[in-house]
Amino acid sequence: MGNLFDYINWIAVLVAALAYFALGALWYSKILFAPKWIAYLKIDVNDPEAKKGMGMMFGGSFLMMFIISLAIAILAGRLDLSGWMSGLKLGAFIAVCFCITSTAINYLYEKKPLGLLLINGGYQLVGSIIAGIIICSWQ
C-alpha cells in the first residue's frame, strides 16, 4: 500500500475543482437560482456590506471544491474506478452521503427552508458528479 497521494492526477483534480467552481457561477446566477437563493437568505443586494469579502469567499470556496475533488480522486484511486459512469456514481455518492446530508443537519437546527437546501444541495450534487466524471475519465 503506497502513499495516499501516489496515484493522484493533480491536473484532473485542478480541472475538476475549476469546473465545480464554474458551475457555481452559473448555478447562482440570475438565469438559474440566484433570485430564489437571495430571497431565502434575505440578502439585500444593494447593501455595500453584502459585497465585502467576496475575494475571500471565492478563494475559500475554491479551496473547499479542490478538497472535495481531491477526496474524490483519492477514493477513485483506492477503489480503482475509471470511466465516466463510475465518476458519476462516485460523485453522487459523495454529494448525497456527505455534502448534502451534513448541510441538511445544519439546516434542520438553523430552521432554514427546504428550498434553500434543494438549491445548495443540488449544486453540491451536480458539482460532485462533474468532478467525479472528470477525475474518473481522465486516465
Nearest alpha carbon to residue 129 among 78, 79, 95, 82: 95
pTM reported for the whole predicted model: 0.93
pLDDT at 104: 97
Please indicate, yes or no, if residue 103 is contained in any of the structural domains: yes
pLDDT at 2: 63
Please indicate, yes or no, if residue 2 is contained in any of the structural domains: no
pLDDT at 136: 98
pLDDT at 65: 98
Report the domain count for the chain: 1
Please indicate, yes or no, if residue 96 is contained in any of the structural domains: yes
Q: What is the 3-state secondary structure (H, E, C) of 70-101?
A: HHHHHHHHHCCCCCHHHHHHHHHHHHHHHHHH
pLDDT tens digits in sequence order for the chain, 139 residues long: 567 788 899 999 999 999 999 999 999 999 999 999 999 999 888 888 877 888 999 999 999 999 999 999 999 999 999 999 999 999 999 999 999 999 999 999 999 999 999 999 999 999 999 999 999 999 6
pLDDT at 49: 82
Please indicate, yes or no, if residue 130 is contained in any of the structural domains: yes
Residues spanned by the domain of 106: 10-137
Please indicate, yes or no, if residue 32 is contained in any of the structural domains: yes
Please indicate, yes or no, if residue 112 is contained in any of the structural domains: yes
Please indicate, yes or no, if residue 80 is contained in any of the structural domains: yes
Residues 6+ apart with CB under 8 A from 56: none
Please indicate, yes or no, if residue 115 is contained in any of the structural domains: yes
